[in-house]
Amino acid sequence: MTNEKISIVIPAKNELAGLQKILPEIRQLYPDYQIIVVDDGSTDGTKQLCESHDVTIISHPYSKGNGSSIKTGARFSDSTILVFMDADGQHKPEDIKNLLDKYKQGYDMVVGARSASSQASVGRLCANTFYNWFATAMVGQKVEDLTSGFRIVRADYFKMFLHLLPNGFSYPTTCTMAFFRSGFSVGYVPIEANTRLGKSHIKLIKDGVRFLLILFKIGTLYSPLKIFFPLSIISFTTGLFYYLYTYITVGRFTNMSALLFTTAVTIFLMGLISEQITSLVYSRKND
């Protein structure tokens, strides 16, 4: 394990202040590691800074998104272990060692789990808490931080799922659920995140809607039937109670009851088909 090549991949879009802080620290702490900064269309001198610190810089001709930068860095690296961290100074370079120590215990991915005090806002804390609870219920394993961008992964396993990863900020969710679905080992190490340097690229309304879709992605990436079956039961039960009510009050079977029963069957069949598709996707990737 100690002889494996390690690459640190840092996606960056106009994160000059953060990179000025973390790049010297990373180079001092881990002189033998490859550092890859993926410049996602920055206009603040990110490229020039990276060149002055003798790190590998890959520049996108225009902004493609955080997830796209992660994929670019992973494709470029030929290392067996990949470390992903943010460029805004939130993640502490000294924590990489702690994640690596956990990884060496036999895990395929180790995530830096942020404490409650490390969350950017109360709203973000509430959302992430709900995501973690929902993901835990889906996979049957404790998910301590679903959306953390600070993680270490086994490179060949991670690259199996590049086609699933979105180009935006929800790549950690997709990555985590894909690893669980494939039976890979996922571990967590508690971390304290710093306050970010510079301006956040997350927009409240636009990315708020996007993060709501994470909930559906959690289910569809792990086990769609766990989402569709309860919805089907709810629809069927509602139809049954409505039928009993109308039978007692007016003595007949109504169109609304028929619609609810039909909806229940349709939802169940959609879940069943989605489950089979998901199984085929992962079985092919694991062959």
Q: Are residues 238 and 258 in the same domain?
A: yes
Q: Are residues 109 and 210 in the same domain?
A: yes
Q: What is the pLDDT of residue 36?
A: 96
Q: Are residues 32 and 133 in the same domain?
A: yes
The rounded percent of the chain whose pLDDT value lies above 90 is 45
Q: Pick from 170, 191, 222: which residue ends a domain?
A: 222
Q: Are residues 146 and 263 in the same domain?
A: no
Q: Are residues 248 and 217 in the same domain?
A: no
Q: Are residues 231 and 110 in the same domain?
A: no
Cβ-contact 181, 221 below 8 angstroms: yes
Largest CA distance in the chain: 82
Q: Are residues 209 and 230 in the same domain?
A: no
Cα–Cα distance, 150 to 89 (Å, whole number): 11
Q: Is residue 1 part of a domain?
A: no
pLDDT confidence band for 77 (50 / 70 / 90): very high
Q: Are residues 57 and 171 in the same domain?
A: yes
Cβ-contact 217, 170 below 8 angstroms: yes
Average pLDDT in the chain:
85
CA 22-26-27 angle, to 5 degrees, is 120
Pairing of strands 81-84, 56-60: unpaired
CA 152-96-201 angle, to 5 degrees, is 75
The range of the structural domain enclosing residue 128 comes to 6-222
Q: Pick from 222, 239, 271: which residue ends a domain?
A: 222
Q: Are residues 163 and 272 in the same domain?
A: no
Q: Are residues 232 and 152 in the same domain?
A: no
Cα–Cα distance, 279 to 222 (Å, whole number): 9
Q: Pick from 179, 196, 222: which residue ends a domain?
A: 222
pLDDT tens digits along 242-280: 889 888 888 888 888 899 999 999 999 988 888 787 777
Cβ-contact 55, 37 below 8 angstroms: yes
DSSP three-state, residue 202? coil
Distances (CA, A) of 258 to 24, 230, 254, 265, 266: 67, 19, 7, 11, 12
The tally of domains found in the chain comes to: 2
pLDDT tens digits along 138-187: 888 889 998 899 999 999 999 998 988 888 777 898 899 889 888 899 99
Q: Is residue 238 part of a domain?
A: yes
pTM: 0.78
DSSP three-state, residue 113? strand
Cα–Cα distance, 204 to 211 (Å, whole number): 10
CA dihedral 271, 272, 278, 283 (to 10 degrees): 160
pLDDT tens digits along 39-54: 998 888 888 888 888 7
Q: Are residues 37 and 106 in the same domain?
A: yes
* CATH code of the domain covering residue 11: 3.90.550.10
Q: What is the pLDDT of residue 285?
A: 55
Q: Is residue 229 part of a domain?
A: yes
Q: Are residues 94 and 203 in the same domain?
A: yes
Cα–Cα distance, 285 to 191 (Å, whole number): 32
pLDDT confidence band for 228 (50 / 70 / 90): confident
Cα–Cα distance, 228 to 217 (Å, whole number): 13
Cα–Cα distance, 232 to 86 (Å, whole number): 40
Q: Is residue 198 part of a domain?
A: yes
Q: Is residue 217 part of a domain?
A: yes
Query: Measured in Å, how far apart are the chain's first and last C-alpha atoms?
Result: 24
The residues with which 188 forms a beta bridge, in sequence order, are 111
Task: Name the amino acid, one letter, at 60.
Answer: H
Q: Could you tell me the two tokens for 118?
A: 């490390």
